Structure 1
Amino acid sequence: MKSEQHSYIISRYEFKYILDSIEAERLQNYMEKIGLESDDYSNKGPYVVNSLYFDTPFLDDYYDKDASLLTRKKVRARIYGDNWSNNHSLIWLEIKNKRNFHIIKERLGISADDWESFISTFNPFLITRDNLTQKDKEFIDKFSHLYIKGRYRPHIIVKYRRAAFLDSFISKIRITFDSNISACFANEDFREDFMTPVHFGSTIMEAKFNDKLPWWFTKAVENFDLKRSDFSKYSRSVAMLRNSYKIPLSR
């Protein structure tokens, strides 16, 4: 994998469902039977998603979700691997804006050197590699202004195991199954010394699509009696860690 990736924007809808382990297994079997294929990341099996969430001193992004605001955002860095203390060749910076069920995610892949420059100074403007495109520069400007103006800092790490399926024939839709969700507060070297289970025993299924849901997914919702959820990994993880460590979060 390249150590740098140009920025791009994803615009789509996301529906979430909370499953137990039996429901998750049955639904994954269903996806395979109707011909869905594993995505590029999971063609060798489930993989680890590891996100470092940033927030303001007053945890504005957390409280926006807690207040069920229609429009909210998340600012994070993401790797695909077990531990932030390992040397990763590619780190994604992301801004995720959400309005109801519609999300717009902007991301840029940076090298380990650029990541070190940023995280050691908390200054995203230091990402200045030679091959930046105009869109890359626009993303860095947007990320930097948001980060500096809001005084964002690393807050928590959320890690989980993901299996993902694609349907690119009938309609463009991606189905992900996220399990073994755990979280910890971000310390200075981002070592996950102690991870707290989040929503233990549950799997979060997400349907990610651009236009309308295919008939087979609507049928699955009916057959499996699925109920849509507003579950947020970040929000639930903050609440879980707050309860575990008894740290008051107040504005």
Structure 2
Amino acid sequence: MHNRKYRHELKHSINTFDVIGLISRLSHVAKADSHGGTDGTYQVRSLYFDNLYDKALMEKVNGVPSREKFRIRYYGEDLSYIKLEKKSKYRGLCHKTSAPLTGDQCRYLLEGKIDFLKESSMDLHKELYAKMRSQQLSPKSIVDYTRRAFIYSAGNVRITIDSNIRGSDQIQQFLNPTFIGKAIIQDIILEVKYDHFLPQVMATATQIPNRQTVAFSKYAICRIKGEYI
């Protein structure tokens, strides 16, 4: 795995009743993410890349064990902090690298002006440029959702509860914080992320009866359910 730091990532589809109990338990043992607003939540918007043959989508659908995808992400209405991310999967483990983007750089990408990536000093920028050229990657889908998160230092645990998942293929609206995409699913997604081990206190706090681990991708579900494949 090329000495990368990979993390475990478990996902569960839960309901509103599950969330009430989950938040109550986590509030006693974990720290709420400082990015949360007065209600403890914040908005996440991502723009995913794929190619003409939907390589990233099909690899997810077909369960390819080693795969990667690129996305651009910002939070709430804050366009001063935008980041490019590459998320890699290897036999169920996850690795993520990121690099900052300015608002202007993001606009250039949306307009297909990508030469600045080649001239960048950042490796991830250069890698995206190379793959946009060699694999014909391009911005494909916007994914929005509401997130509530908790952290626990031992095991570097991060718990996220994502709801109100929306999607759109109107990529030119990505930098418009007031744009509202199409509601995709009512499911609430619980993600449990950790390094080498999950402390028992967190395993207990996140345990929900009759909820199985699922292979879930917000990008894939928005492409499929949004009917803009």
TM bracket, shorter-chain basis: 0.7 to 0.9
Equivalent position SS for 1:52: strand
Alpha-carbon spacing, 1:124–1:158, altered in 2? closer, same or farther (3 Å):
farther
The AA in structure 2 aligned to 1:54 is F
Which sections of structure 2, spanning at least 5 residues, go unmatched?
Answer: none
CA–CA separation in structure 2 for the residues paired with 1:209 and 1:195? 31
**2:155 paired residue among 150, 171, 176:** 171
CA–CA separation in structure 2 for the residues paired with 1:29 and 1:159? 25
After the TM superposition, which residues 30-109 of structure 1 pair with which residues of structure 2 at under 5 Å, given as runs? 30-33=25-28, 35-42=29-36, 44=38, 45-81=40-76, 88-109=79-100
**1:216 paired residue among 201, 214, 222:** 201
CA–CA separation in structure 2 for the residues paired with 1:149 and 1:65? 20
Q: Are residues 1:236 and 2:221 paired?
A: yes
- The residue that corresponds to 1:181 in the other structure is 165
Q: Are residues 1:121 and 2:133 paired?
A: no
CA–CA separation in structure 1 for the residues paired with 2:101 and 2:118? 8
Q: Provide, for residues 50-94 of structure 1, a one-character-per-residue CA deviation record: whole Å limited to 9, x for no partner.
A: 001111011111011111111122111111125xxxx81222111
2:56–2:68 contact (8 Å) kept in structure 1: yes
Share of identical aligned residues, percent? 25
Q: Provide, for residues 184-211 of structure 1, a one-character-per-residue CA deviation record: whole Å limited to 9, x for no partner.
A: 11343445755222221x2111111111
Equivalent position SS for 1:115: helix
- What is the total number of aligned residue pairs between the two structures? 223
The AA in structure 2 aligned to 1:175 is I
Q: Report which stretch shifted further, 211-220 or 46-55.
A: 211-220
- The residue that corresponds to 1:17 in the other structure is 12
1:182–1:237 contact (8 Å) kept in structure 2: yes
2:85–2:99 contact (8 Å) kept in structure 1: yes
1:93–1:108 contact (8 Å) kept in structure 2: yes
2:82–2:103 contact (8 Å) kept in structure 1: yes
State TM-score, norm by structure 2. Answer: 0.87
Alpha-carbon spacing, 1:241–1:95, altered in 2? closer, same or farther (3 Å):
same
After the TM superposition, which residues 151-166 of structure 1 pair with which residues of structure 2 at under 5 Å, given as runs? 151-166=136-151
State TM-score, norm by structure 1. Answer: 0.80
The AA in structure 1 aligned to 2:184 is V
**1:197 paired residue among 183, 186, 190:** 183
The AA in structure 1 aligned to 2:74 is I
Equivalent position SS for 2:190: strand
2:31–2:150 contact (8 Å) kept in structure 1: yes
How far 1:30 moved relative to its partner? 0.6
CA–CA separation in structure 2 for the residues paired with 1:77 and 1:182? 16
Provide the aligned C-alpha RMSD in A. 2.3
The AA in structure 1 aligned to 2:130 is H
Which sections of structure 1, spanning at least 5 residues, go unmatched?
Answer: 1-8
